[in-house]
Amino acid sequence: MSLIVVIILQRMALGRYIYSVGNKEAAAYLAGVNTRGVTVICFALCGLTAGISGVLLAGYSQKAYQGMGDTYLLPSIAAVVIGGTNILGGRGRYPGTFVGVILIVLLNSVLSIMEMPEAGRQVIYGGVIIAMLLVYGRGERVTS
């Protein structure tokens, strides 16, 4: 699945359209990109991968309930932010996200060894997100 995502983002026109819409939707529209179509495709792909992930998680835990993926939400956002992806859109690369996932897994392992409760883990993940946003917020400022 990861290989498919890398090919789409780096080798296909859809990947360039996704980055352009994420960077500045109005500019992408003026450049001739069907921004609504790209947005619909992105939501459809996200829904597809979320559905596959839900089926795999339900199969792994051998039961299903509504909030079973809640514990994975904040660590996944933290991994993406650590990987260098801007939450506001436009910047980010797949290899950076992969490195962010590895770092979050290592952090999760350390927190498990320390027997940190789930609430403490969520606070640490939130702190990591805020710290990375502060670091990335110090980047280039464009004024018109």
- pLDDT-derived band at 138 (thresholds 50, 70, 90) equals low
Distance CA 31, CA 132 (A): 32
Question: Do 48 and 18 share a domain, yes or no?
Answer: yes
Torsion of CA 9, 11, 17, 19, to 10 degrees: 40
CA–CA separation, 122 and 97 (whole Å): 19
Within a 10 A sphere around the Cβ of 59, how many other Cβ atoms?
10
Q: CA-CA distance, 83 to 102, in Å (whole number)?
A: 10
Q: Residue 118: what residue type?
A: E
Residues 97, 109, single domain; the answer is yes
Say how far apart CA 64 and CA 57 lie, in whole Å. 8
The chain-wide mean pLDDT, for the chain, equals 85
Q: Do both 76 and 141 map to the same domain?
A: yes
Q: Residue 36's domain spans which residues? A: 1-65
pTM over 0.85: no
Same domain, 1 and 35: yes
For 63-111, how does the pLDDT look when each residue is reduced to its tens digit (9 = 90+)? 888 888 888 888 888 888 888 887 766 677 778 888 889 988 998 889 8
Residue 93 has a pLDDT of 77
Average pLDDT over residues 103-130: 87
